[in-house]
Structure 1
């Protein structure tokens, strides 16, 4: 406890870090305040019980409840995330985007600009769909045509405002702005979910003992998730000695950290998108509700969980294969005079790295699938659905990843000012906090 207070004191002594933390908290406070502003032309008292489930419930969680409140920030950062994913996939498949990725800072600015334009287009489409399907007609107190046009513009402006807030946090605050905004939206649901769970335990079955067991289980799941996010397989790389003039370079051993979960949360996002197709079909075609497709409308069913887990494992291998390039890693090592001890440079090195990635990706994919289906398992054990979402899935992975990244940045400021880090031993490493061993500084 003494070390904790000492660390907090050291953080407050660094003027730049203190200003960045205060700025970040102020921006997040502004975001939470604006998220409660209802769309113009809507009477909030007439919304009634507008809670969402399924994919809409997931979007509502990411938006911190703005989606169900019909807020001006109802769409949140999801259009920006969708645009970022599209641009990232284009960077893998389209040569012109690959060229921009290799152009350094200028290429990054071009990709960011493309992402912004794509965000505007996606937001406009989603705003139209949101106004048509998610705003109750009885809550609209002005002309419907006027409301439709006005709400579309306001929702688009709201998403751009959230994107601007995120960029300001990234530039002048601490941590990744967009990720922090998502994290705050998820955490905002925790007090309500915890209150519901406590009430159900004390009013219903279980009592205090069951509640304590649930909290301990949640702590264990979080620790397990951190282990998966942080897990790496270090491949040793030896660099040959070089004499340039009177100076010696190289002759040191470094490591390539191959992550156990190199795909992050992307496999879960892709798998969830496919799993919502049966529910969408049964919604459009009521005759299909009496078929086997109805099993996939319940995320706690065995068929849903098994299919979901299989898709996550498949997408993990797919996404890892297209994002981690063993051939390029081998070429970068060879250009910088590096080699893996006992492995010939070139094709043999590429094959060795590919084999290691294949071996560590399978357990990583299985563990990721387990984390994804934990909420459905928690519901089966009698935990309320709202609280069960914190036992796994995309929300838990985002929370863990964002917290680790932010702590890594804070620790970097402390170490640069010659203060102790946040841990007694070792260092906090975020999702991109481990330096690559290759000379190109590629992040694995």
Structure 2
């Protein structure tokens, strides 16, 4: 597939996605709350009805204004700005295609009444959409609800006005509609708005009346040539049958080769649109439903919502820039007098440090004591003490023998104390046994 076609399809998908997001932010009855403007749609409807009763052509004027506004930068009321109210003194009203747009004074009248009721609340873009809806219904067209909540744009540049012209063929016209996310069926329905309104000879004379090529009904061809031969730039009805009624008569006229504009008549012969024209011509309800749906979808094109754009107080001029907030002069803080710094502390004279203490020489420590091995002392000799003392030695005296000495009983000696093998002194010797000298010898 050609890269250009793929790129075009990509942008169409993006446009449809953005349109869906915006549509979700718009809502039917947006102003029907106490916090906004609950009588807004009633005021619009009553004002349009008063004008319609005096001038039935106002339906065609509002349809043209609605289409030309939404097709350039979206439905943002940029077509309402007067040239004198722009920086470069130019606006969309100066573009050639918008020279025949009218109905501005009706929008001003509606806006004035809304401002008296609820100032700076209802956008000029919503006024155009609501007024067009009410005018279509008053002219016999479908009654439909249209979402509101649009905001007004901040740009109106005539160089951006690029509308499909009356001399376009079907494919050229569809290329312009497709860039706005409009399908071929919706394009044929929107062009059905030509069922009301007029056009000027300068817009079709070269294409349709230069020669009789069989594409126009002969009687109509002759009649239009006479009309357009008059001085100036005469106007003719686009629908030669029911010129002030929104119905399917326009499509019936196309099938009879009575289309005035070249692009209109080609709808009946181009293979991509001929079947749609035939359906609308034979089924008025199908046209009414398709026309309402196409107008609603067109009204969702590139709209500003939320905090984008603005709500104009005057539909013909951008709001003046908000004045900057007043500068609040804050006095400088009072100067704090600093007390002088405290005097430095008196210098303390530090005496010279005392001399170091004399060095004390230490003699080296004595060598470690050698271990002395102490051999255990031999056990004391065992003294056997008999229980019976030996008989004393016999002593012979010359004097008479003394009496026998008394018997001395010696108790057995106690066992020796335990011997300390290391440092205890040797045991004391056993006590001596005294023998009385008076004892005789044995």
If the TM-score is normalised by the length of the shorter chain, which range does it land in?
A: under 0.3
What TM-score comes out, normalization by structure 2 length?
A: 0.28
- Structure with the greater relative contact order (CA < 8 A, sep ≥ 6): 1 or 2? 2
Larger Rg: 2
> Which has a greater percent of helix?
1
